Amino acid sequence: MTLLHFEVLGAALFCLGLYGVLARRSAVLVLMAVELMLNAVNVNLVAFAAYRGADHVTGLVIAIFVITIAAAEVALAMAIILRLFRTHGSVNLDEIDVLRG
């Protein structure tokens, strides 16, 4: 298990997440894809931290931060999605274009 394996895993997860964000229509799935991207980054951070040795905990700390903020972000995003559903009766992002110029 070298660093490279983790890098590939992180990149793969990130690309999956990106694909999900861009291609999915359901707001809930887009939110899940965003979570996936965040976790891809976390994998990278932890991997580099482990690679650099036990004295260097910066990566670990940042990963903890990312997890915390992701939790908060999910709460916020779920609230927004709920409001969307209330007002539009749907969470299909293709149908929601109130900001069109």
Partner 1 sequence: MEWAWLIPIYGFGAFGVIALMRENLPDRGRFLSVLAISAGFATFWFVLQDFLEHGVDQYHFTVEWFTAGRIDVALGIIVDPLTVIMLGLVTFVALAVQIYSLGYMAGDKRLPWYFGVHSLFAAAMLTLVLADNLLLLYFAWELVGLCSYFLIGHWYERRSAAEAAKKAFITTRIGDVGLLIGILLLVVNTGTFDTLEVLERVSHPAPGQELSNLLVTGSALLIFLGAMGKSAQFPLHVWLPDAMEGPTPVSALIHAATMVAAGVFLVARLFPLFEASGDALTAVALIGLITALVGASLALVSTDLKRILAYSTMSHLGFMMLALGAGGFTAAIFHLLTHGIAKASLFMAAGSVMHAMDGQTDIRRMGGLRRRMPLTAVAFTIGALALAGIPPLSAFWSKDEILIAVQKGLNPAYLIFFLLAIVLSALYMARATRLAFYGELSADAEHAHESPLVMVIPIAVLAGLSVVIGLLALPWGDTYDGIGSFLFLQEHGPHGFEVVAQWTVASIVLAGGGFAAGWWLYDRRRDLVDSIRIRFGALHRLVERKYYLDDAYQWAIDQVVLRASRGVAFFDRRAINDGGVDGAAASAMNAGRALRHHATGLFADYGVSMVLGVIGIGLFFWLRA
Minimum Å distance from CB 25 to partner 1? 8
Query: Cα–Cα distance between 22 and 7 in angstroms, integer?
Result: 22
Which residue intervals of the chain are DSSP H helices?
3-23, 27-52, 58-88
Of residues 29 and 60, the one with the C-beta less far from partner 1 = 29
Minimum Å distance from CB 11 to partner 1? 14
Cα angle value 42/44/50 (rounded, 5°): 100
Q: Which of 13, 30, 37, 45 binds partner 1 (CB under 8 A)?
A: 30
**Rule CB under 8 A: is residue 38 a binding residue for partner 1?**
no
**Rule CB under 8 A: is residue 77 a binding residue for partner 1?**
no
**Rule CB under 8 A: is residue 96 a binding residue for partner 1?**
yes
Residue 92 DSSP label: B
Cβ(26)–Cβ(81) below 8 Å: no
Of residues 41 and 50, the one with the C-beta less far from partner 1 = 41
Q: Which residues bind partner 1 (CB under 8 A)?
A: 18, 21-23, 27, 30, 93-94, 96-101
